[in-house]
Amino acid sequence: MAHPMFVKHQDLLGSAVHAIESHGCWSPYADSIDVYGADAVEAGRQAFFEAYPDAQFYLDQPGVVGRGGGEQSPYGPALNVSYPKCSADALIAAAKTAMPAWTKAGPDARAGVCAEILARLNAQSIELAFATMHTTGQSFAMAFQDAGPRAQERGLEAVACAWREMKHVPYRAIWEKARGSRPPLKLDKRYAVVPRGVALVFSCATAPTWSSYSGIFASLATGNAVIVKPHPDAVLPLAITVALARQTLKEAGFDADLVSLLVDTAAAPVAKDVALKPDIRIIDYAGDAEFGNWLEDNARQAMVFTEKAGVNCIVVDAAADYAGMLDNIAFTLSLNSGQMRSAPQTIFVAGHGVRIPTATVPVDTFCRDLARAVGSLLEDPARAVEVLGAIQSPATLARIEALARWFGDVVRAADTIEHPQWPEAAVRTPLLLKAPANDGSVWMEENFGPVAFIVETATTAESLALAERAMREKGALTFSIYSDNDNIVQLAEDASLRTGVTLAINLTGEVFVNQSAGFSDYRATGANPAASGSLTDSGFVAGRFFVVQSYRNA
Amino acid sequence: MAHPMFVKHQDLLGSAVHAIESHGCWSPYADSIDVYGADAVEAGRQAFFEAYPDAQFYLDQPGVVGRGGGEQSPYGPALNVSYPKCSADALIAAAKTAMPAWTKAGPDARAGVCAEILARLNAQSIELAFATMHTTGQSFAMAFQDAGPRAQERGLEAVACAWREMKHVPYRAIWEKARGSRPPLKLDKRYAVVPRGVALVFSCATAPTWSSYSGIFASLATGNAVIVKPHPDAVLPLAITVALARQTLKEAGFDADLVSLLVDTAAAPVAKDVALKPDIRIIDYAGDAEFGNWLEDNARQAMVFTEKAGVNCIVVDAAADYAGMLDNIAFTLSLNSGQMRSAPQTIFVAGHGVRIPTATVPVDTFCRDLARAVGSLLEDPARAVEVLGAIQSPATLARIEALARWFGDVVRAADTIEHPQWPEAAVRTPLLLKAPANDGSVWMEENFGPVAFIVETATTAESLALAERAMREKGALTFSIYSDNDNIVQLAEDASLRTGVTLAINLTGEVFVNQSAGFSDYRATGANPAASGSLTDSGFVAGRFFVVQSYRNA
């Protein structure tokens, strides 16, 4: 008999599979905050500050050895939520105990339960938005999108992709081989989808749910148990997620320990120990390249998916809509203070300037125009903080300050903006620097946060060559070309195919390279050092399960 | 415009995809030798011996640095075919040059060309059978199946699986986001399937084409160039395959260097050097565990698929058809002298004996009965050599002799059989030994070739536990249970799911665990040390390509 949660969500799952086949614009989760209720935001804010700061977060997990926590909102207030700290071995043991029944339930039931978890997460989007805002520094509007519908979309996309792959495996087949006048050979064959093992998901400090839901739901849907290890600066959004998943699993008749939270602190990290445990068979990670590379090199017992980013490039050759281009670039550099692995960092422009319909804009003018576009976007502090949010990490702040100090050629300084509501928040406008083309040590290194380099080259061909080198060697998630010349666009497309980086062509208006849409945009490819997998292609889900067969004479 | 080879094979590809969805009995390649022409075998034999021995095999590959070869038929005659030896770097460089046009041709054209290569291989099945017989020691009848239709099925299965996965990626999408009263946001998005890189395929000495076609065609269909590195004892079947693939590619308008042959000798092996080259991004390997493990540990720049086998087990509890069980086991131990990674090695039977409908057969009687079934199967030398073939490697022969010498409890000795046509061929009947349950150093180590151990346990539950331990620790491709007790069968099914080993239940008649059918049987799972992938699930193909996206305002 079909599981009731599968019955409830069967149509949704069908639509989601259709969406990944057609890759158009589709989402079951409303992204207009009005849909969630006119008073929801204010009520949510009050509820959030009543419920969480200085509270003990309840999770009935096994192996509790103490409590930990201590998140600090980038907007100022100490959250100081305390979470149960559990022994990783206890969580792994409980996860293994929980898996056989989850495996036997089959793909439909698992997909249905996952869809139900996502529906309940969606209903809690406002709460997740506040939790995300006050751990990542995102503005509320961005946090709502990022932790709410956009993250839920990525989760459902992973479920749909996993479900489709599992449904390719027949449950049973009668194999009948004709043999002329002799009776046919007949076998009764059964096929079972079995999980790879316990999955470990590392979420990052700047997009904790968005960056982790693909891995969590891909593993869970394919039968694996999932241990979520959040960044110690951004535990709460995942704690809410895990609590809700556990509650849903229990109501669905499964063991809550299929999803658990592993909390540590920056002072006593557990990540490396846990990542090497033989029972951890899948790892999903989003975060800095150093630990991502360490995982790829050392967690040999596991299938490892990382998203580490690198150096995202823009090549400016010509612009049919010069003002539109500047506005688009200015916004993309400012959004969430560049604290996105998809934010552009290095802008190449040829020494002869930027061709526009009526003239050619010299490089220095282009620099000034871009600085002005950033300035005009961020002129009004109330609007500016909605775009910029706050700087999440003191390390990012220190990086901006260090670059501004020792770096000579400042195109636009990182201004400090006072946040109208949160005076303690560190808010900075993007730092724009001009960097010499021959010094890749500057523009070819990732500088996470609101920093961009403008690099003057001899020709657009050189711009493309340097961008390709940076993307190939350092990796990239996004690549932009602005040109009215079909040959140049073609060269950029070729470089995009060779390096495996998504290419945005002449992007103006209200779509930005650092945002990607579930069901339509592949996030990363796996083809360059920025990431070892793609959200969400079939390679991201297929290795999470095995097919085991039995047969007998029929 | 569709590629003519896609037009020609489009229906076939559709049928193949349908076959992998339904997993019944299907093959487009006739497995009755009569279909290939009544006189074909004799004509083929003459042509084979006229064309190949002492000949220079023609391949117009780049980077030729000399010639090498020197295969010896396990049936006696020296083949002494000489092949061009090429620099691996030259083959890799040529492969990389060849790939962009192959990538741009798209999934349909590539699938069509692959299907055409397979159709031409099918037409050369008789020649491939003689080449395989006289390199692997397989009997002609078996070599025909193994190198002909059975291998071609695995190739087409991989093409169909890869094609299905690639076709999940849309070519283009219009993304249109409604925004209430404002005009919608509209993007024109394109998606391209790009290959991972150059693939290296290692084929083994005992099933050179069968074990390599899945990897070759999965990589080729997904846009990768393929370098085939055959075992130095069995080059010819792959040389014929590569020559034919190159010719077909050329006729299809592509660069022949998409498929090339890398020949070395046992005295001067190149495998390790080549496997670590940064441009090698995919490795498929079938062969002994030692080199397979080395590849997994060291070829970190590549996605590595290995099939290494391990210890395949049979648990005998009870038999409704005792004689049928004995005949099935006897055949499965004898087929190709156990020189198959899927051949059973260790047979567990409980001390209280084997329950049959009328009585219980004591263990010693079971041993004698099994020995007798082997004897009766192999009584007639003319029939025996058709089942056994010849021993491929002196190492296998030495292994049998060593085991027979130092091992006390011989159930059935390895008899020498004189081959009626090939007196120089080493033909041995399977060596059956009784091994103590507490000495896993014997029965829990892989002994490739015609050797099986009968292990007496206290109970069938202990049999299952020991089998599970062997499968988990050493890996296995096949697992058999004989029982009339539903609980015991259920326990075996649970062990099969936990270890990821295909389970055969009460197999009698003319289906044997060491054979698996393309489009219906998954060969290996990836879930235990026997193999790191499965022929052919979506995990086997999905990681061979990436999806790269571009978009612009629409």
Closest CA of chain A from B237, distance in Å: 28
Average pLDDT for A152-177: 97
CB atoms B503 and A538 under 8 Å: no
Which chain A residue has its CA at the smallest distance from B500's CA? A548
Give the distance from CA B347 to its chain's centroid. 23
Higher-pLDDT residue of B455 and B1 is: B455
Report d(CA B210, CA B376) in Å as an integer: 30
- Residue of A17, A97, A103, A177 to mutate, interface with B, max B Cβ within 10 Å: A177
Superfamily of A313-505 according to CATH: Aldehyde Dehydrogenase; Chain A, domain 2 (3.40.309.10)
Report d(CA B520, CA A485) in Å as an integer: 52
CB count in 10 Å sphere of residue B24:
18
- Residue of A25, A501, A544 to mutate, interface with B, max B Cβ within 10 Å: A25
Q: Is the pTM of this model over 0.90?
A: yes
Residue B413 has pLDDT above 80, yes or no: yes
In degrees, to the nearest 5, what angle opens at C-alpha B145 toward C-alphas A169 and B503?
40
Q: Report the share of chain B in percent with pLDDT over 90.
A: 94
Of B24, B194, B538, the CB nearest to A538: B538
**pLDDT score, position A37:** 80
Using the structure block, give the residue that is written with the tokens 């022949």.
B256
- Contact list in A for residue B537 (CB cut-off 8 A) is 169, 542, 546-547
- Contact list in B for residue A525 (CB cut-off 8 A) is 194, 546-548
Domain A84-124+149-308+540-553: CATH class, spelled out:
alpha beta
Closest CA of chain A from B33, distance in Å: 13
The H-assigned helical ranges of A389-485 are 394-406, 440-443, 460-474
Q: Are B353 and B360 in contact (CB under 8 A)?
A: yes
**In this predicted model, what pLDDT tens digit does every residue of B212-262 receive, in sequence order?**
999 999 999 999 999 999 999 999 999 999 999 999 999 999 999 999 999
Instruction: Report helix, strand or coil for A360.
Output: strand
Q: Are A305 and A332 in contact (CB under 8 A)?
A: no
The second-level CATH assignment, the architecture, of B27-306+533-553 is 3-Layer(aba) Sandwich (3.40)
The boundaries of every CATH 3.40.309.10 domain in chain B are: 313-505
- Contact list in A for residue B160 (CB cut-off 8 A) is none
CB atoms B547 and A522 under 8 Å: yes
CB atoms B547 and A525 under 8 Å: yes
Structure tokens at B105: 């041709």
Instruction: Report helix, strand or coil for B300.
Output: coil
The boundaries of every CATH 3.40.605.10 domain in chain B are: 27-306+533-553
What's the 3-state SS for B330-395? HHHHHHHHHCCCCCCCEEEEECCCEEECCEEECHHHHHHHHHHHHHHHCCCHHHHHHHHCCCCCHH
CB atoms A551 and B505 under 8 Å: yes
CB atoms B522 and A191 under 8 Å: yes
**In this predicted model, what pLDDT tens digit does every residue of A83-112 receive, in sequence order?**
999 999 999 999 999 999 999 999 999 999
CB atoms A297 and B297 under 8 Å: no
Strands (E), A4-49: none
Count how many pairs of residues, chain A against chain B, have C-beta atoms within 8 Å.
Answer: 185
User: Residue A260 is which amino acid?
Assistant: S
CB atoms B185 and A522 under 8 Å: no
CB atoms A500 and B103 under 8 Å: no
Q: How confident is the model at residue B506 (pLDDT cuts 50, 70, 90)?
A: very high
Instruction: Report helix, strand or coil for B418.
Output: coil
Please report the ipTM that was assigned to this predicted complex: 0.96
Non-local CB neighbours of B49 within 8 Å, separated by 6+ positions = none
CB atoms B508 and A553 under 8 Å: yes
- Contact list in B for residue A522 (CB cut-off 8 A) is 191, 547-549
**In this predicted model, what pLDDT tens digit does every residue of A239-259 receive, in sequence order?**
999 999 999 999 999 999 999
Which chain B residue has its CA at the smallest distance from A299's CA? B297
- Contact list in A for residue B25 (CB cut-off 8 A) is 175-177
Closest CA of chain B from A316, distance in Å: 15
CB atoms B520 and A25 under 8 Å: no
- Contact list in B for residue A534 (CB cut-off 8 A) is 546-547
Report d(CA B281, CA A417) in Å as an integer: 48
**pLDDT score, position B240:** 98
Closest CA of chain A from B346, distance in Å: 19
Q: Are B71 and B77 in contact (CB under 8 A)?
A: no
Residue B34 has pLDDT above 90, yes or no: no
Using the structure block, give the residue that is written with the tokens 């249905």.
A112
Report d(CA A378, CA A368) in Å as an integer: 15
Which uninterrupted H or E stretch holds B297? helix B289-298
Q: How confident is the model at residue A39 (pLDDT cuts 50, 70, 90)?
A: confident
CB atoms B553 and A525 under 8 Å: no
The boundaries of every CATH 3.40.605.10 domain in chain A are: 84-124+149-308+540-553
* Lowest pLDDT segment from A43-57, A94-108, B189-203: A43-57
